[in-house]
Amino acid sequence: MELTPLVISLQTAGLATVITFFSGIGLALLVLRMNRWQGLADALITLPLVLPPTVVGFFLLLFCGRRSALGTFLLQFDISLVFTWKAAVIAAVAVSLPLMYRTARGAFEQLDGNILNAARTLGVSEWRLIWHVLLPNARSGILAGVVLSFTRALGEFGATIMFAGNIPGVTQTMSTAIYAAVQANDYALAWRWTVIIGCFSLVFVLLLNWWQSRQPRGRGLWN
Amino acid sequence: MELTVQIVKKLRDFTLRADFSLHDEVMAVLGASGSGKSMTLKCIAGIETPDEGRIVLNGRTLFDSTQGINVRIQDRRVGYLFQDYALFPNMSVAENIAFVTPGGAAEKAQKVQEHLHRFKLADVKAAYPRELSGGQQQRAALARLLAAEPELVLLDEPLSALDTYLRWQLEQVLRETLAGRSAILVTHDRGEAYRLAGKIAVLAQGQLQQPRCRENLFQNPDTLAAALLTGCKNVSAAQKIDSQKIMALDWQLPLTVQSPVPDKIKYVGIRAHYMELGQAGQANTFTMEVVQVVEDVFSYLVMLRVPHTTGVALRWELPKPVWEKMGRPSLVEVYFPPNKLMIMEE
């Protein structure tokens, strides 16, 4: 069995998660600080979560394709995104970013605002506050965001196949490999990939639950 | 330390106005809940922005709406102690203190040790906030507050989260901590305000009244709000009769007062324990009907009314043995000492 789709999937999802981690947290902090247009900004970032992945793929083609402004600009440096490994990463980022953003924002909102203001009155700068108070106290939620983003990126199909294609050895991930196998009537191969991707996702979510159950917390509402 | 505050902030139900200055002293702001006490402190700390006005601390302008100055919270050097203490949950007691202590590593370590000892926290320095008792949390929060070396300290109901027994102990810690410092303490407890602060300002209907010397405020609260917040239980609307006499309308009593009656008199008040047992025929003494007797822990609260009227009942508080010796009468002669009657013009 050719294992490249597994390697491509893990690489794509891994890199996408790194990008999503920083941009999701950054966007959450940015939107929370907005005084106006907060609702609109939130809606725009959340949109890829609720739109059909094909729509996301279509927009990516429109904005990053060879004929778009960005595409022509990048072509001057001999860079093309469509149907490359980079495109698979971009598609994965687009669909997993809302998950990271929303879980991070939720975790930040849970924090007691008095803690942040107390720190400020005692002279703690905003950066130290984010790094030493905000992030450590929101780590449970942030980890949940990372796992959700990673598993979502791992399972990404619609936007990927439209924007990055399904080129074996280049952009074919496990999810697109399943599609290709079913198209080719190779149900045995489809089964193998299905089991592998299912196991990966299950293990990651179980790890998250195990880690979160070890976190100290106050008396919960449900236990 | 010198602080000048002149601010206006429109809130949902009222407009908050404060205009006062403070020189090297502890001031208490006494107000009911929801009166804007915390908002006043938050404006000084920079957590909230006033609509108009000016705040100057030790010659530094922290806020000035006309000049467009609004110094960042971090740069104000105004430490804020929250009611729930707001310790960093992810840091131990020692780390909480070290996190806000200025200076190099060695200097910092030494300062942290000093604060841990001063607030008797050495034994719990490695513990996290959730592992501390309420009292330890408060001491840790105070240690952290002072470690940041603020020029002014703001305390937002620092004792209300505690039960009575612990409260008294922590009031002592607070008193020692505040000695020789400049601070503003917000509370709804008149006793706490009196015991901890030299000056008290009453906040009512959004207006922070001028801070007054505590003895003066309690002896002669010149507004209705001040009378009620300082714990005066008996207040009646009043009208001037002549320069020494007034009519207490709610109680239906013509009373003689000590100082010349101002034309604009609106209310008269007397504290529940200042009324005395009198003799019939004596000046300012009236026969009162006992409406109800409530037994308190160390005293009786006797509700009194002028017989055969619909007047508002007065509350008389007297030691248990005294009331018992009187033989629980249904009618009593009550003397209203003129120098204890408080006159209010607003």
Give the model confidence (pLDDT) of B217-268 as tens digits.
Answer: 998 888 999 999 999 999 999 999 999 999 999 999 999 998 889 999 999 9
Contact B77 A123 (CB under 8 A): yes
Mutation to test the A interface, candidates B49, B62, B90, most A Cβ within 10 Å: B90
Would you list the DSSP string of A6-28? HHHHHHHHHHHHHHHHHHHHHHH
Mean pLDDT for chain A overall:
90
Reported as a single tens digit per residue, the pLDDT across B276-285 is 999 988 999 9
In chain B, % of residues over pLDDT 70: 100
Residue B10 phi, psi (nearest 5) = -80, 125
Mutation to test the B interface, candidates A33, A110, A114, A122, most B Cβ within 10 Å: A122
Quote the CA–CA distance of B211 and B213 in Å, as a whole number: 7
Would you list the DSSP string of B80-118? EE-TT----TTS-HHHHHHHH--S-HHHHHHHHHHHHHH
Reported as a single tens digit per residue, the pLDDT across B128-155 is 999 999 889 999 999 999 999 999 999 9
Contact B80 A118 (CB under 8 A): yes
Quote the CA–CA distance of A46 and A41 in Å, as a whole number: 9
Chain A partners of B138 at a C-beta cutoff of 8 Å? Answer: none
CB B309 within 8 A of CB B337: no
CA of A65 to nearest chain B CA: how many angstroms apart?
A: 45
If pLDDT is split at 50, 70 and 90, which confidence band does A216 have? low
Contact B86 A115 (CB under 8 A): yes
B15 pLDDT more than 90:
yes
- Pick from B74, B78, B84: which is nearest to A124 by CB? B74
Instruction: Give me the helix-helix angle, B134-147 and B105-118, nearest 10°.
Output: 140
In the prediction, which pLDDT does A64 show?
Answer: 87
Mean pLDDT within A75-92: 89
Residue in the structure block whose two tokens are 């279509």: A58
In the prediction, which pLDDT does B74 show?
Answer: 96
CB A149 within 8 A of CB A17: yes
In the prediction, which pLDDT does B50 show?
Answer: 97
CB B126 within 8 A of CB B31: no
Mutation to test the B interface, candidates A121, A133, A137, most B Cβ within 10 Å: A121
**pTM of the complete model:** 0.82
Contact B86 A117 (CB under 8 A): yes
Instruction: Give me the helix-helix angle, A187-213 and A174-183, nearest 10°.
Output: 150
Q: Is B163 left (phi over 0), alpha (psi -120 to 50) or beta?
A: beta
Domains of chain A in sequence order: 4-214 (1.10.3720.10)
Nearest to A208 by CA among A152, A153, A146, A156: A146
Contact A117 B73 (CB under 8 A): yes
CB B238 within 8 A of CB B252: no
DSSP tag of B341? P
In the prediction, which pLDDT does A220 show?
Answer: 46
Reported as a single tens digit per residue, the pLDDT across A44-63 is 999 999 999 999 999 999 99
In the prediction, which pLDDT does A218 show?
Answer: 47
If pLDDT is split at 50, 70 and 90, which confidence band does A222 have? low
Reported as a single tens digit per residue, the pLDDT across B51-75 is 999 999 999 999 999 999 999 999 9
Nearest to A116 by CA among B236, B303, B88: B88
CA of A222 to nearest chain B CA: how many angstroms apart?
A: 20
Name the maximum alpha-carbon separation found in chain A: 67
The contact set of B with A (CB < 8 A) is 45-47, 73-82, 84, 86-91, 99-100, 102, 130, 144-145, 147-148, 150, 154
Quote the CA–CA distance of B103 and B90 in Å, as a whole number: 22
Among A79-83, A130-134, A197-201, the minimum mean pLDDT is found in A79-83
Mean pLDDT within A201-214: 88
Number of A–B residue contacts, CB under 8 Å: 68
Contact A119 B100 (CB under 8 A): yes
Residue in B closest to A116 by C-alpha: B86
In the prediction, which pLDDT does A223 show?
Answer: 44
